Amino acid sequence: MGRGRAKAKQVKVARRLKYGSVGGDLERLRRELDVGPSPSQVPDGEEETQGGPDGSGGDR
């Protein structure tokens, strides 16, 4: 007993996160997680190579 209020608050927060605003601040989240730009945001010609250290594709 005594957990009803705490559980209700958790449910409220979970519902707000699940059904709340769709957008969110993705740039702020990216900064918090210290992650670089997504591949769709990298300008053409600056994409990272998918090869190994010698530049090969890794196919043998």
User: Domain count of the chain?
Assistant: 1
Report residue 48's pLDDT band, with 50, 70 and 90 as the boundaries: low
Residue 26 maps to a domain? yes
- Nearest Cα to Cα of residue 38 among 23, 46, 19, 59: 46
Residue 44 maps to a domain? no
Quote helix, strand, coil % in the chain, to nearest 5: 45, 0, 55
Residue 56 maps to a domain? no
Residue 12 maps to a domain? yes
The encoded tokens of residue 38 equal: 């997504």
Residue 17 maps to a domain? yes
Give, for 32, the enclosing helix (H) or strand (E): helix 26-33
pTM of the full structure: 0.35
Domain containing 21 equals 3-33
For the stretch 9-42, pLDDT in tens is: 999 999 988 887 666 677 888 888 887 666 666 6
Residue 55 maps to a domain? no
Residue 23 maps to a domain? yes
